[in-house]
Amino acid sequence: MAYPRSMPRQILVLNGPNLNLLGTRETDVYGAVTLDVILDGLRLFAGQRDAEIKDVQSNSEGSLVDALHEAKSWADGVVFNPGAYTHSSIALRDAISAVDLPVVETHLSNVHAREDFRHTSLVTGVCLGVVAGFGADSYVIALDALLRNLDR
């Protein structure tokens, strides 16, 4: 049973490289919806679940690490689409471990149905879970799972 909270949950929604190009980039893979539209819908869903989101998108690995470090002081959890850094960034893996926040790794496409190099995630092992392959709905599913976990 969940008990009422006096303050909304604070969630960081973190997006990695090239996600600023959603809606125009490889629409056959990622869809035609922009990141702003995804985030607007996620804000509405968060509000219904007594949560607030702060979003950060960066094409720079260091900026993503910095956002995770800053989240340690204010966030209850993180929904994170690391983009291509999923498959290459030990720095992001270490940052997730260091901040000790629940993180749900999130992908628009089903990375396991794509190129072989996308089948390996360096961050999965330090995340609460992974949601992939549901397009823009991946973010809502990830946030729902994160909030359910926080309510336990």
| Catalytic (active-site) positions | 30, 107
Cβ(143)–Cβ(46) under 8 Å? yes
Cβ(61)–Cβ(92) under 8 Å? yes
Strand partners, 63: none
- How far apart CA 17 and CA 1 sit, in angstroms, is 38
Cα dihedral 144, 119, 128, 10 in deg (nearest 10): -50
